[in-house]
Amino acid sequence: MTLAPDASHPRDDLELPELPGRTLAEAELRDWVERLAARPELWRHHVAHDSARERAGGRHYVSLHRDEHVDVWLLCWDTVDDTGWHDHDTSAGAVVVTDGAVVERRPRLGGEAASRTVPAGRSFAFGPDHIHRMSGAVDGSVSIHAYSPPLWRMGQYAISDDGVMRRWSVSYADELRPVEDDGHALVSGP
Ligand SMILES: [Fe+2]
């Protein structure tokens, strides 16, 4: 089962770690998601990894919080899950991996993408200039992501076999997935 983001009903009942009430910088976001990850009673109940057969519809991800300065998501990953290339428009972001491991790749024009595996217990942050692609390194992985200012538009990219890159503007509420050069989704599923 996939839970669509529900920005109209943010989880204000959660007692999240304190936020400063303004846009957060990369280091602040990273520190904040690490503190949230250390309190699994706030998010563990949202974790779900459905079988491939059951979840042909896509990735499992849940909006944990959204306000005027930050939005926060919990994402569940299996090895079939892949965001495709994307950016976060004007938002900085931070990711903490709580279970398993995720792969982050960054495009390198004319060469192989830069790739790293981020295991449980590790985190990273990035600015609005960051273009990347994330996937599950092992089944059953979980990560928590925070963005500031909140995601609104995002860029989704296709890179053709001869290295030409194209960008489509998508809504933050759309599920990211790999796209073909004409903008059509290659696969359904996160
Ligand atoms: Fe991203």
- C-alpha of residue 54 to centroid of ligand 1, in Å: 25
Residue 161 pLDDT level (bands cut at 50, 70, 90): confident
- C-alpha of residue 86 to centroid of ligand 1, in Å: 6
Q: What is the mean pLDDT of residues 43-66?
A: 79
Q: Which residues of 69-82 are buried (b: 16+ CB within 10 A; e: fewer)?
A: ebbbbbbbbbeebb
Q: Which among 122, 132, 137, 144 is positioned nearest to 39, based on CA atoms?
A: 144
Q: What is the mean pLDDT of residues 65-89?
A: 95
- C-alpha of residue 39 to centroid of ligand 1, in Å: 23
State yes or no: pLDDT of 8 exceeds 60.
no
State yes or no: pLDDT of 9 exceeds 50.
no
Cα 62 from Cα 65, distance rounded (Å): 9
What size, in residues, is the chain? 190
pTM for this entry:
0.86
State yes or no: pLDDT of 187 exceeds 50.
no
Per the listing, tokens 């965001």 go with 83
Q: What is the mean pLDDT of the chain?
A: 86
Cα 137 from Cα 78, distance rounded (Å): 7
Q: Could you tell me what percent of the chain has a pLDDT over 70?
A: 83
Sheet holding 71-77, edge to edge: 60-66, 71-77, 141-148, 92-99, 123-126
State yes or no: pLDDT of 51 exceeds 80.
no
